Amino acid sequence: MKKLCLAVSILAASTSAAWAQSSVVISGILDGAVRYTTNSGPATNKSASLSQMVGGGMSQSRLSVAVTEDMGDGLKAIANIEHRLLLDSGTSAAGDFWRQAWVGLQSNSFGRITLGRQYNLLFDAATSTFASFKYSPYIEVFKPEIGMALTARQNNMVKYLVESGGLRFEAQVSAGENSGDIGQGKSIGALVRYAAGSFAGAYVWLQSEDQGGKKVTAQTMGASWTDGPLYVNMAWAQNKFETGYSLAGNVTLLGSINTAIISRNPASAATVATDAAAQVRDLFSAGITYQLTPQFNLGAQVWKGKQVGLVPGRGTGVLDAFAVVADYALSKRTDAYVEFDNLRTKGNVVISNGANTRTGYMVGVRHRF
Please indicate, yes or no, if residue 138 is contained in any of the structural domains: yes
Q: Which class for 367: exposed (0-12), middle (13-18), buried (19 or more C-beta within 10 A)?
A: middle
Mean pLDDT, residues 131-150 taken together: 91
pTM exceeding 0.75: yes
**Residue 7 is assigned to a structural domain of this protein:** no
Is 10 among the domain residues?
no
| Residue 8 maps to a domain | no
Three-class SS of residue 265?
A: coil
- For the stretch 22-76, pLDDT in tens is 899 999 999 999 999 999 988 789 899 999 999 999 999 999 999 999 999 999 9
Q: Is 9 inside a domain boundary? A: no
Beta bridge partners of 249: none
Determine the pLDDT at residue 16. Answer: 45
Q: Considering its fold, how many domains does the chain have in total?
A: 1
Q: Is the residue at 342 inside a domain?
A: yes
Determine the pLDDT at residue 353: 80
Burial of 166-181, coded b for 16+ CB within 10 Å and e otherwise, reads eebebebebebeeeee
- Give the pLDDT score at 3: 46
- Per the domain annotation, does 181 fall within a domain? yes
Q: What is the pLDDT of residues 344-354, one digit of tens each?
A: 988 877 787 87
- Average pLDDT (286-301) is 98
**Tally of CA atoms within 13 A in the half-sphere of 107 that contains its CB:** 7
Q: What is the CATH number of the domain that holds 348?
A: 2.40.160.10
Contact 119, 153 (CB under 8 A): yes
316 vs 80, which has greater pLDDT?
80
Domain span at 147? 19-368
The pLDDT value recorded for residue 323 is: 97
pLDDT score of 184: 52
CA atoms of 166 and 275, how far apart (whole Å): 45
Tell me the average pLDDT of the chain: 86
4 is a domain residue:
no
Q: Is the model more confident about 9 or about 308?
A: 308
